[in-house]
Structure 1
Amino acid sequence: MNTFKYRQKYKSNYFEGWYIRLIGKKNIAVIFGITTNKDNPHAFIQYTDSRISKYYSFSLNEVETTNNSVEIGENKLTKNILILNVLDIKLNIKFLNVKALKKNFINNSIMSFLYYLPLECYQEVIYLDGEYTHESDKGRIYIEKTYGKKFPKEWIWIQSNSLPLTLASAKMPLLFNKFGFYCLFEYEKKQYIFASYKLGKIKIMRSGNTVNINIKQGRYRLELHLKLNNTVRLLGPTNNGLMTITVNESLDSNLSVKFTKKNKLIHQSTHKDIGAEVEMKNHS
């Protein structure tokens, strides 16, 4: 399964977006997106650097896709490069030494068999970690893709490169509006996946800008403590892929991680420059 390619899971009233994070001299996030909402079909590029957020619209006629690339106007994303050429933003970036999700027994989708079920929203991890070069700058990258009819009613998303980690948890109608989740991270060259479909259990406790997450799966336990810092406003899809939801995203949050097996400590660390979205009510 090629997690990069334009899936076009539905023909109309649908969205699909490729999300790229660059962590170097500046923290940058870029989204290449397509919406086929019947009232406002268009392609778009979103850009944020923790201070500003910009949304550029394009005609669907300016979109070209292959299995390994997407082009919107003069902007291009492939498995190896990112080229941005929109008004005042010019980037020409190469990706190196990337880490994709290792293939599991069903496919190489982070959603496993849930990919085949009728959900509001689907997500793929394209690169959990990697390097980039751009002129005199270099740093780390993360790439994922989200697609479907709409974003969930409530969700939390966390992403780190210093400890390669990504977590997404959302209310799922398929689970009677309980929170489903996955969390993928790599430690000492081994990838660990915690997920609802692997019978993992998650507990999320939010109080303002502080979020504590406890995950249990078999003999393993993962504890995350997130301090949400500065956020900027992005746009996300509501019903039928209409791009009108406000998404508050941080690129400079802080995260503490504790990983144990049978109550024995395996790893403990703290991290900065964390990507995070906390679009959920306070829970305990």
Structure 2
Amino acid sequence: MSGSGQKGFEGWYFKHQKGDDVVAFIPGQAESGAFIQVIWQEGARQFELSDLTVRNGMIQADRCWFSRQGCHIELPGISGEIAYGPFAPLRSDIMGPFRFFPMECRHGVLSMAHTLQGALVLDGCTHSFDGGLGYTEKDIGTSFPRSYLWLQCNEFPKPCSLMVSIAHIPFFGVSFRGCICAILYQGREYRLATYKGVQIPAFAPEHICLSQGSLVLELDIAPSHAGYPLRAPQGGKMSHTIRESCNTHLHARLWKRGKPVFDLQSDHAAFEFVPGHGS
């Protein structure tokens, strides 16, 4: 599987974090070729690759590789190796029954949180991730949604990992606002999603409220800056530009049957917001 013969796009997101130190790698392939993107708290870069292959769960991207065991990085100005602890997958596919239908973008959560051991050298500066936490997801399809919000955080005062995405979803000639949200807290998984009947009483880039059965989730979001540019797929080619912020302030509160499950804050959430008409 190389970029030249690729139909649509396929990409992975490997996030490494220890406090406010964040480096995420996005290897992938599209009709426009294979690539690795890198984003950290001070910038973002894109690298074109000659080839990207996936064999036995390992992504070989030129001289870099990524797997469930860790990653090895050899890029201009960036090198190092990080080992991953056991992945923490969700109980089932985050897309639910929508995984059986043709979608412009299928999202997969591979690990909500796993431990890290190792370091990267970026422009001569060493970033140690010993004792940090990782997060891994995957996207495959033709295009990212025309408008969406994506938020991920696993750097809280208590062990908690959260991912939420709310997006404009075209579906068999119509469209709707779709939501997927997964939370791992104190060994329990909470999931709020369109296919589970979630309602969205409030949706703005700075405030989200989700309600589903006995669960209510409120998120207050305050990015520290506009984020750094990343390329995103549009019609199978990496021709669109989005922006991601690595260290966004997040205040997350979850209630069940009116009783608080948690009330947590973090200055280290990853956040993307792409506005659009009718979003």
TM over 0.5: yes
Partners in 1 of 2:154 and 2:13 — Cα distance?
15
Residue in structure 1 matched with residue 177 of structure 2 by the alignment:
179
Question: How many percent identity over aligned positions?
Answer: 24
More strand by share: 2
Asked whether 1:30 is paired with 2:25, we answer yes
Partners in 2 of 1:53 and 1:243 — Cα distance?
15
Q: Following superposition of structure 1 onto structure 2, how do residues 88-103 of structure 1 map, counting pairs within 5 Å?
A: 88-102=77-91
Partners in 2 of 1:115 and 1:150 — Cα distance?
16
Residue in structure 2 matched with residue 84 of structure 1 by the alignment:
73
Residue in structure 2 matched with residue 3 of structure 1 by the alignment:
none
Partners in 2 of 1:223 and 1:282 — Cα distance?
24
| Contact map agreement 2:153 2:163 (CA 8 A) in 1 | yes
| Contact map agreement 1:204 1:211 (CA 8 A) in 2 | no
Asked whether 1:117 is paired with 2:101, we answer yes
Residue deviations 1:85-105, cap 9 Å, x none? 011110201001431112xxx
Residue deviations 1:1-56, cap 9 Å, x none? xxxxx9x9xx7531000101111262111101011x2xx3x110001112221111
Equivalent position amino acid for 1:67 in 2:
N
Residue in structure 1 matched with residue 232 of structure 2 by the alignment:
236
Partners in 2 of 1:174 and 1:244 — Cα distance?
23
Shift of 1:283: 8.7
SS of corresponding position for 1:180: strand
| Contact map agreement 1:13 1:242 (CA 8 A) in 2 | no
Equivalent position amino acid for 2:263 in 1:
Q
Shift of 1:64: 2.3
* TM-align CA RMSD: 2.0
Residue of structure 2 aligned with 1:45, choices 36, 46, 70: 36
Shift of 1:83: 0.8
Q: Following superposition of structure 1 onto structure 2, how do residues 1-284 of structure 1 map, counting pairs within 5 Å?
A: 12-24=6-18, 26-35=21-30, 37=31, 40=32, 42-59=33-50, 62-102=51-91, 108-135=92-119, 137-138=129-130, 139-162=132-155, 163-174=160-171, 176-206=174-204, 210-230=205-225, 231-239=227-235, 241-281=236-276
- TM-score norm. by structure 2 comes to 0.88
SS of corresponding position for 2:54: strand
Runs of 4+ in 1 over 2 A off after TM superposition: 175-178, 203-206, 281-284
Equivalent position amino acid for 2:47 in 1:
Y
Shift of 1:164: 0.3
Cα distance change, pair 168–112 in 1 and its aligned pair in 2 (3 A): same
Residue deviations 1:208-254, cap 9 Å, x none? xx521111111111111111222100000011x11111111000001
SS of corresponding position for 2:98: helix
Residue in structure 2 matched with residue 105 of structure 1 by the alignment:
none
Equivalent position amino acid for 1:168 in 2:
S
SS of corresponding position for 2:216: strand
SS of corresponding position for 2:87: strand
Cα distance change, pair 188–43 in 1 and its aligned pair in 2 (3 A): same
| Contact map agreement 1:234 1:249 (CA 8 A) in 2 | yes
Partners in 2 of 1:93 and 1:283 — Cα distance?
42
Partners in 2 of 1:52 and 1:282 — Cα distance?
28
| Contact map agreement 1:159 1:274 (CA 8 A) in 2 | yes
| Contact map agreement 2:17 2:129 (CA 8 A) in 1 | no
SS of corresponding position for 2:65: strand
Shift of 1:281: 4.8
Shift of 1:205: 3.2
In structure 1, list runs of 5 or more residues that go unmatched: 1-5, 103-107
| Contact map agreement 2:217 2:253 (CA 8 A) in 1 | yes
Partners in 2 of 1:277 and 1:137 — Cα distance?
23
Q: May I ask how many residue pairs the two structures share in their alignment? A: 261
Shift of 1:116: 1.1
